[in-house]
């Protein structure tokens, strides 16, 4: 049988809220700034990368404030743990691809509990004077070209499944063999005629996959 490889976005996909938007709203420039940036992105006047730099740069707080707030107020999808355990049992590779930051992801997906999950994300350097500084993986508009990892997997002959919800997931959705999408990514797939499963929770994705693999 063809080897499966599952790739998933993190913010808004594995978590119910986007951790960057959440932190910029509560610890940084506030809701108005975040909304203004959101409009610029939608209008195509600001890249996701520049938006992320602006949002993170508006935070001048110690990292521990973010840790406390994220742990208190952001939840992961209720079905994700069971999904991750099933993947592990079946020895299916799972890679989390994020245009966000691994320091936030580590709070929700513990490396000790889930050593089989590969996490590829950008890095944040909290700076209370200059504002938090972003270290991106590459030079693309998203600061992390997710599609490249899917291309490599396909070149290795793997059957690639991608799970996502937003803007930085579009190019990956275009080249995946199969897509699970929600929110704006589902709309994008509909508009572009990209075949996708529209989903709400990882429990649905798990059921789908268990019936076939
Ligand atoms: Mg997302």
Ligand 1 is an ion; its neighbours by CB within 5 Å are 9, 11-13, 165-166
Distance 1 CA to ligand 1 centre (A): 30
Distance 75 CA to ligand 1 centre (A): 14
Q: What's residue 2's pLDDT?
A: 77
Terminal CA-CA length for the chain:
10
Domain that holds residue 132: 4-16+76-210
Distance 184 CA to ligand 1 centre (A): 9
Identify any residues that bridge with 117 across adjacent strands, giving them in sequence order. 94
Long-range contacts of 149-158 (CB under 8 A, 24+ apart): 149/7, 149/95, 149/97, 149/120, 150/7, 150/175, 150/176, 151/175, 153/5, 153/7, 157/2, 157/3, 158/2, 158/3, 158/4, 158/5
Domain membership flag for residue 202 = yes
Distance 11 CA to ligand 1 centre (A): 4
CATH code of the domain in which 186 resides: 3.40.50.1000
- Tell which residue, 130, 108, 131, has the closest CA to residue 121: 108
Domain membership flag for residue 71 = no
Domain membership flag for residue 45 = no
Residues near 213 by beta carbon (within 8 Å), at least 6 away in sequence: 4, 90, 92
Domain membership flag for residue 154 = yes
* HSE-up (13 A, CA, CB side) for residue 30: 1
**What is the model's pTM?**
0.97
pLDDT tens for the chain, 213 residues: list them: 679 999 999 999 999 999 999 999 999 999 999 999 999 999 999 999 999 999 999 999 999 999 999 999 999 999 999 999 999 999 999 999 999 999 999 999 999 999 999 999 999 999 999 999 999 999 999 999 999 999 999 999 999 999 999 999 999 999 999 999 999 999 999 999 999 999 999 999 999 999 999
Number of independent structural domains in the chain: 1
Domain membership flag for residue 28 = no
Distance 131 CA to ligand 1 centre (A): 23
């Amino acid at each position: 049988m063809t080897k499966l490889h599952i790739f998933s976005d993190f913010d808004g996909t594995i978590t119910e809220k986007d951790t960057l938007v959440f932190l910029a709203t509560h610890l940084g420039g506030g809701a108005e700034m975040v909304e203004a940036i959101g409009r610029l992105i939608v209008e195509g006047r600001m890249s996701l990368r520049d938006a992320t730099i602006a949002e993170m740069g508006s935070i001048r707080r110690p990292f521990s404030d973010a840790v406390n707030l994220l742990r208190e107020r952001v939840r992961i999808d209720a079905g994700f743990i069971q999904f991750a355990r099933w993947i592990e049992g079946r020895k299916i590779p799972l890679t989390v691809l994020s245009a966000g930051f691994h320091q936030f992801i580590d709070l929700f997906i513990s490396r000790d509990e889930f050593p089989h999950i590969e996490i590829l994300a950008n890095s944040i350097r909290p700076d209370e004077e200059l504002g938090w500084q972003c270290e991106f993986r590459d030079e693309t508009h998203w600061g992390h070209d997710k599609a490249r990892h899917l291309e490599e997997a396909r070149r290795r002959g793997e059957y690639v499944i991608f799970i996502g919800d937003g803007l930085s997931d579009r190019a990956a959705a275009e080249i995946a063999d199969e897509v699970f999408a929600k929110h704006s990514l589902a709309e994008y797939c509909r508009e572009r005629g990209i075949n996708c499963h529209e989903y709400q929770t990882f429990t649905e994705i798990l059921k789908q996959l268990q019936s076939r693999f």
